[in-house]
């Protein structure tokens, strides 16, 4: 057994299909180079400390540790976990899944055990349920894979690598007020329970847009992908997971010349992604509108932010 185990996993951007993916429709996502590093040491635990106050104050990472440690023959009460993250939580960058997969990798390293990609996908999804009740598993898949891929939930999920025909220049913008993916997913589930036919129709429409957008990514057709972003955003608004702040940032990005723009991740606030021709112009407009911004390019393998 080792004295300390280290693990790292990246964040993600959902390009198309969030929420529909919880209901079995396809989605398209890409891993981010920005991520989370976890170190596990022996000591009086279970304790999770972090350079991010929000993570240190959140009881859920300790719950994930308590659930995950026995999978590696370890007891959480003997473990101290240190988390360093470049991902702001509550924005849509998949910080919970990055933590979860990084923790799995650190525990495996501490226990001197192997961890396959299939294990990371299955355990990542199971443990992520501590953060929101019905995860599709797309966030831990992005954390585990780090590249661009099409995803359909399942046991095991269907994961297909997608190679962009051209680099995808994106500007990501968010207002800095954290919101909860769990709440957005839970509120949509209540609306779906109340009117399944309407929401199933909307999810079917999202699936068509995801198919069109995925083909646009593969052929490098940025104009067509921008159309798919806008169509997906309109459907996300109909699903009730947009917000006035998201709509404002989407409008700023489009006015500044983006091919298309949409929310990314859980929505109900959080981050917006814009597919751009001129990252400088769009990022500048979004910054003047008061948003935090990040320029990220999805290359044919992975993002280089």
Cβ proximity to ligand MEV, 79 vs 188, nearer residue: 188
User: Minimal distance in Å, beta carbon 76 to ligand MEV?
Assistant: 24
Task: Calculate helix-pair angle for 117-128, 95-111, nearest 10 degrees.
Answer: 130
What are the CA-CA distances from residue 139 to residues 9, 12, 15, 118 (Å)? 11, 7, 12, 14
Residue 92 or residue 260: which is nearer to ligand MEV going by CB?
A: 92
- What is the spatial distance between Cα 88 and Cα 73, in angstroms, rounded to a whole number? 31
CB of 216 to ligand MEV, least distance (A): 20
Kindly state the tokens that stand for 86: 């470049």
Q: Which residue is nearest to ligand MEV (CB)?
A: 136
Query: How far is C-alpha 278 from the chain's CA centre?
Result: 24
Nearest distance from C-beta of residue 181 to ligand MEV, angstroms: 5
Residues 6+ apart with CB under 8 A from 86: 11, 34, 35, 36
∠ CA 21-124-7, nearest 5°, is: 135
Do the strands 47-50 and 79-85 form a parallel or antiparallel pair, or are they unpaired?
parallel
Among residues 72 and 151, whose Cβ is nearest to ligand MEV?
Answer: 151
Q: Given the complex with ligand MEV, which of 40 and 138 has the nearer CB atom?
A: 138
Q: Give the interface with ligand MEV as residue ranges (CB under 6 A).
A: 14, 18-19, 21-22, 94, 135-136, 138-139, 181, 185, 265-266
Identify which of 142, 131, 147, 87 has the alpha carbon closest to the alpha carbon of residue 292. Answer: 87
Distance CA(9)–CA(109), nearest Å, equals: 14
- CA 204 to chain CA centroid, Å, is 21
Q: Least distance to ligand MEV from the beta carbon of 93, Å?
A: 9
What is the smallest separation between the CB atom of 45 and ligand MEV, expressed in angstroms? 28
Tell me 16's DSSP state: E
Nearest residue (CB) to ligand MEV, 138 versus 286 = 138
The nearest distance, CB 42 to ligand MEV, in angstroms, is 33
Instruction: Dihedral sign for Cα 16, 102, 48, 157, please.
Output: positive
Q: Least distance from C-beta 30 to ligand MEV, angstroms?
A: 12
Task: Find the shortest distance in angstroms from Cβ 265 to ligand MEV.
Answer: 4
Residue 301, Cβ density class (10 Å: 0-12 exposed, 13-18 middle, ≥19 buried) = middle
Instruction: Count the Cβ atoms, other than its own, within 10 Å of residue 118.
Output: 12
- Residue 103 sits at the vertex; the CA angle it makes with 64 and 28, to the nearest 5 degrees, is 90
**Residue among 196 and 288 whose Cβ is closer to ligand MEV:** 196
């Amino acid at each position: 057994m080792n004295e300390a185990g280290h693990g790292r996993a990246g964040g993600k951007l959902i390009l198309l299909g969030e929420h529909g993916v919880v209901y079995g429709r396809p989605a398209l996502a890409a891993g981010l180079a920005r991520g989370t590093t976890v170190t596990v040491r022996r000591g009086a635990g279970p304790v999770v400390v972090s350079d991010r106050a929000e993570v240190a104050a959140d009881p859920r990472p300790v719950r994930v540790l308590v659930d995950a440690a026995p999978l590696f023959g370890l007891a959480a009460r003997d473990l101290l976990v240190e988390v360093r993250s470049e991902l702001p939580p509550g924005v849509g960058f998949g910080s919970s899944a990055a933590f979860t997969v990084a923790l799995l990798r650190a525990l495996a390293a501490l226990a001197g055990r192997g961890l396959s990609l299939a294990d990371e996908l299955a355990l990542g999804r199971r443990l992520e349920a501590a953060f929101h009740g019905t995860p599709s598993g797309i966030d831990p898949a992005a954390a585990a894979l780090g590249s661009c891929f099409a995803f359909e939930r399942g046991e095991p999920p269907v994961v297909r690598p997608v190679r962009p025909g051209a680099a995808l220049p994106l500007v990501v913008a968010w207002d800095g007020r954290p919101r909860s993916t769990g709440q957005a997913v839970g509120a949509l589930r209540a609306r779906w329970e109340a009117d399944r036919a309407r929401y199933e129709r909307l999810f079917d429409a999202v699936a068509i847009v995801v198919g069109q957008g995925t083909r646009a990514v593969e052929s490098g057709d940025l104009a067509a992908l921008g159309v798919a972003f806008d169509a997906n955003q309109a459907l996300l608004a109909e699903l009730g997971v947009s917000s006035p702040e998201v709509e404002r940032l989407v409008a700023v990005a489009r006015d500044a010349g983006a091919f298309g723009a949409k929310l990314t991740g859980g929505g109900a606030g959080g981050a917006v992604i814009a597919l751009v021709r001129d990252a400088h112009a769009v990022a500048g407009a979004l910054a003047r509108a008061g948003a935090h911004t990040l320029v990220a390019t999805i290359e044919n393998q992975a993002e280089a932010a």
